[in-house]
Structures are given as structure tokens and as C-alpha cells.
Amino acid sequence: MDSILIFGHKNPDTDSICSSISYSYLKNQLGIKALPGRLGDISKETEFVLKHFGVKKPKLIDTVSPEIRDLTHVERAAINVGDSLKSALDLMTKENFSSLPITNNEKSLVGMLHVSDIANTYLDLDYKDLFTKYSSTYENIQKLLDGDIISGEYPTGLIEGRLKAASEIDTVKKGDIVVTTTVFDGIDKAIGAGAKLIIVCSRDEDYISPRQGTDCTIMRVNSNLFKTLKLITQSITVASIIPNRKFYHFKEDEFLSEIKDLMKEADQSNFPVVGRDGKLYGTIRSKNLINFTRKEVILMDHNEHHQSVDGIKDAKILEVVDHHKFGNFETNEPLIIRAETVGCCCTIVYKLFKEEGITPPKEIAGLMASAILSDTLIFKSPTCTPQDIAAATELCEIAGVDHKKYGMEMLIAGTSLGNKSPMEIITMDSKTFNMAELDVAISQINTVDISGILKKQGELQKVMTQKLNENGYDLFILVITDIINSGSQILVVGDSANLVEGAFDIKLENNSAWLDGVLSRKKQIVPSLMSASQSI
């Protein structure tokens, strides 16, 4: 059974990643095989968190659509290159497959054998040139004839001699195989001619005396001459008739949705599948595609399908652990839902640890604490509850970090603009507005390190002026928003700077001002500027 996949939403934030890793850890502690996943690249903030606590980022999951390996029925039978045509045909009849894959001794796929390939070969068989046209082994003959060895040691390996019937005794040469009967006693003549193997068709009561002192092997069989010759011709190996026509084959991890149409349209009813190890995995046909084992998943920090992994409708959702609203959530089976009105999914996960009486190790506690500090902006977000604060405080204690100091470091890492050029900073998120004949550009960045950004004020104003002149703006405002201190520092260039002073009732000093409580460009900055522009 595959591990249960535990993952958060697309565009994963720190909570989505850390809740998945922590809950997988808890499941594993409870003896349940679970694996954390992620539905996209991790953020800089999450990267900081994982690095700080020395935890690997989870595996990227593209889809949970069923793969060939999830099929409940796959035909496992295969034909080996050394098998006789008869045993190949018997296998196809037994398994009710008109064709089966051929594998070599390393179990790699080397071809596809169809019943018609065997039939066509049978029509063409003549025992006279059998072993020159096709190959066979002494082992195959012994297996098909099931005879008793009267004397000598039964040979092994590829047959190199010719096949001769008793009536041709005069043409027998060294190394040939001779088929004779007890009625027509050719045994001694054949030995004299150097035959390697003599097959004697006899009835049970016939006595055949062993011939000692010769290299020749004598084997007695219970079938008559005709049947014996026929069985020997059917002993030729599959290797000698491998058809070279093209055929489709799949890999174990291909998606059912992607092979379905091809399987319907192809002029082929059975499709070999190769495993990840390069060996044959099995054979499938269209009718097998209906039954597959659905991947088992647990959704963290989200519940809506459009926020979840591709193929979620084909998966089996075992649990949801979430602190968001539920929208259009529907499942095929009953499930466990743990939803609470707290500020962070990891606050719920920590409760689950406690309910199981398991204390998270340092690094897992660190991840959960990080998620809570991130989701609640170090307890400052209006979504933060006393439960979040209590959980994060305990978790920081276990993890050995100071929530304020570490939280700030984490948020700063997340908003780090360190390697961004001034031009990149002012164009990252820039929008233009037309306000009473004025063209106004407003760019916004988030940071917890305003002073760090203001160190580049000269360079920033230079590129802002450049953009302003290039595009003929009347005003260019850079809004540097501090999510922790709930406000924005603005940088303004352009002749209409007085519009800003009027809109926010402030005085710009050195082209800059602090707007306390202003966080939203859409809801706060633009409306104020709009109404100010109308009164000019």
C-alpha cells in the first residue's frame, strides 16, 4: 500500500508546507505511512524556516490521477525467450490472452508474441530442417516429452544436430537426434552413426536395455512416433520467432487518462507495461482501466478543489484539517474533518499532537511555531486567537526560539528584497491610474525592513524619475508597506507631489512620509488620491 499523501494548497505558504510535514510526522509516529507533499514552489519565507530547522522541503506533487500501477488487475504472465512455442501457447490459452509480452532472462521486454505468430510458424514447420531454421534446447524437448532416461546423461543447451526419424537411419550423423520405435529397432545403428540423443517411442511394457559405454543418451517416451515428432517441432524457442512488428508499450507510472484513448484506437488489444526498474511490470487491456486503487490523501490548510492538487476528484480524501471557510466541498466517502476557527492550521495540528499524547521534536515544533507566527504576523493579524498564541508560545519553547526575534527574522527573510535592483523593486507590482487628467503610477512592495529599503532612496528616486519621464507620468509613488508595524512609507517623485500631501494631510519630507495604518493600495491609497484630485 502506498503512503497517504498529505499536502496543503497550491501556491503554498509556510502554513501549508509546515502543517503537511508536521501532520505526516504525527501519522508516522502513530504507525500510519504518510508522506508530506507540496503543490508548488516554496516561498522565501518557507525556505528560511526549513533551512533554520534543517528539514527537507516536501516532494512536489503534480497530480494524484491514477497511474497504471494503481490498477487493481494487471496480467503478470509473460513468455521467456527460451520457452517453447507449446508452453507459450499453453500459457496464452490458460490466461485467456491472445498475446503476451516476451522477456529475456533479465526480465526486460524484448517483444510481443501473438497467437497468430505461433499458428503461422506451425503451418510452416518441417521436422527435416527444424533445427537449422529455428532454435531449440534439449531442456524444451525433455519438458514436452516427459520421457525416462534409459542410459547416458541427458544433454543440455542449444541443439546443434539435426532431427532424424528411424526411417532415415542411414543418413544419421554425429550429434543428431534420432526418433525411433521399439518395433523398428534403430537404437544400435543410431549409436553407431554417432547420434547424441535417441528418443524411443514405446509402450509401458516394452523393455529397452540400457546401452553402456557410449556417449549417446537414450530416452524412452510413451507417445507414438507421430505425436513425438509433433511435440519436438513445438519445442522450438520463442527466441527464434520473435516478430519484429511495432507495438505500443507503457511505463508503470503513466496516467490512465493519458493512455486510455490510445488503447482504444490502437490495433492492439494487450499492452505490455515496463516497471521503474526497467523490468516487465505486466500486461493490461482496455477493460482493466475501470478498476484502480485511488490515491489516499489528507488536505491541510485548504478544502476547495480548485485550490487542491490536479486529479483530486480521482483521489480518496481521508481527512481535512483546515481553518478556512468551506466552499463546495463534496466527497464520495465519509471522512474526518477537523476545522477550527483559529489563525493557523498548525495550531490545530499541535492540538492533534496533544490529543495523541505525542510531544513534537524540536524541528517539528519549530515548523509549527513558524507557521503560526507567519499566518498571524507574529500575533498581530486580526485572525489571531488566544489559542494560536498559546500554541506558538509552547512550540517556540520546545524549538528553543524567541517568538519575536525569530518571527521577525522569518518575516524579513520572506520579504527580502536583498538581491533585487532598484528598477526591479519599483516594477515588481506597479499599477497606473488616471486621476483628473493626471497619470499616476503607484508601485507597492511589502517589507519588514523599511530602513533597509530607504538606504537606497537615492537610487530608487533616480529610477522612479526615469520611469516617470519615459512614460509621461505626473506622479510616481512607491508604497513600502510594513506588515508588522501596520503602515506604509511612501516615496514620491513628480511635479504633482502636492496631491499626495492633500490626500493624506501630511507634509513630505525629503520626498517621503509615513502613512500610519495604511496597508492597501486598492482600499486606502487610491480612493484618497482620487478624492483629492477632484478638489484640485
Binding site for Mn ion (CB under 5 A): 15, 301, 345, 375
219/345 with CB nearer Mn ion: 345
Residue closest to Mn ion (Cβ): 15
**Rounded to the nearest whole angstrom, what is the least distance from the CB of residue 370 to Mn ion in the complex?**
12
Cα separation, 298 vs 316, in Å, equals 9
- Measured from the CB atom, the residue of 15 and 252 that comes closer to Mn ion is 15
Radius of gyration of the chain (CA): 39
Q: How far is the CB of 346 from Mn ion (least distance, A)?
A: 8
> Residue 15 or 75: which CB sits closer to Mn ion?
15
Locus of grid cell 483559529: 342
The residue (of 23 and 138) whose beta carbon lies closer to Mn ion is 23
**Contact assessment for residue 28 and residue 34, using Cβ atoms and an 8 Å cutoff:** yes
Task: Report the distance separating Cα 122 and Cα 88, nearest Å.
Answer: 13
Q: Which is nearer to Mn ion, 368 or 479 (CB)?
A: 368
CB nearer to Mn ion: pick between 177 and 344 = 344
Closest approach of Mn ion to the CB of residue 374, in Å: 8
- Count CB atoms within 10 A of the CB of residue 271: 23
Q: What contacts 84, CB < 8 A, 6 or more positions away?
A: 136, 140, 143, 144, 234, 235, 236, 237, 238
Determine the Cα angle at 431 with ends 430 and 433, to 5°: 150
Closer residue to Mn ion (CB): 345 or 412: 345
Closer CB to Mn ion, 15 or 67, in the complex? 15
CB atoms within 10 A of CB 110: 16
Nearest distance, CB of residue 16 and Mn ion, angstroms: 7
| DSSP code per residue over 219-281 | EEESS-HHHHHHHHHTT-BGGGG--------EETT-BHHHHHHHHHHSS-S-EEEE-TTSSEE
The span from the CA of 53 to the CA of 469, in Å, is 47
| Burial classification of residue 12, based on how many CB atoms lie within 10 Å of its CB (0-12 exposed, 13-18 middle, 19 or more buried) | buried
DSSP code at position 96: T
Q: Least distance from C-beta 14 to Mn ion, angstroms?
A: 8
Per the structure block, which three cell numbers stand in for 96? 485467456
Smallest distance, Mn ion to C-beta of residue 7, A: 13
Q: Which three cell numbers stand for residue 320?
A: 481535512
Backbone angles phi, psi at 519, to 5 degrees: -125, -25
Q: DSSP label at 204? A: T
Cα–Cα distance for residue pair 279/101, rounded to 1 Å: 12
Query: For residue 102, what is its C-alpha cell?
Result: 516476451
Nearer to Mn ion, 187 or 298 (CB): 298
Q: Give the burial string for 185-207 (b: 16+ CB within 10 Å, else e).
A: ebbebbbebebbbbbbbbeeeee
Least separation in angstroms between CB 18 and Mn ion:
9
C-beta of 117 vs 319, nearer to Mn ion = 319
Angle between helical axes of 85-95 and 115-123 (0-180°, round to 10): 140
φ, ψ of residue 480 to 5 degrees: the values are -105, 105
CB 8 → Mn ion: shortest distance, Å? 8
Identity (one letter) of the amino acid at 30? L
Residue 412: which of 377, 448, 388, 440 has the closest Cα?
Answer: 448
Tell me the DSSP string of 53-95: TT-PPPEE--B---BGGGBS--B---EETTSBHHHHHHHHHHH
With respect to Mn ion, which residue has the nearer C-beta, 257 or 381? 381
* Shortest separation between residue 15's beta carbon and Mn ion, angstroms: 3
Q: How many CB atoms lie within 10 A of CB 516?
A: 10
Sign of CA dihedral 128, 132, 136, 142: positive
Q: Are strands 487-493 and 217-221 parallel, antiparallel or unpaired?
A: unpaired
Minimum separation from the CB atom of position 320 to Mn ion (A) = 13
In the bound complex, what is the minimum distance in angstroms from residue 308's beta carbon to Mn ion? 14
Q: Residue 19 CB, nearest distance to Mn ion (Å)?
A: 7
CB of 4 to Mn ion, least distance (A): 20
Of 451, 444, 454, 378, give the one whose Cα is nearest residue 409.
378
Residue 5, strand partner residues = 35, 297
Least distance in angstroms from the C-beta of 381 to Mn ion = 11
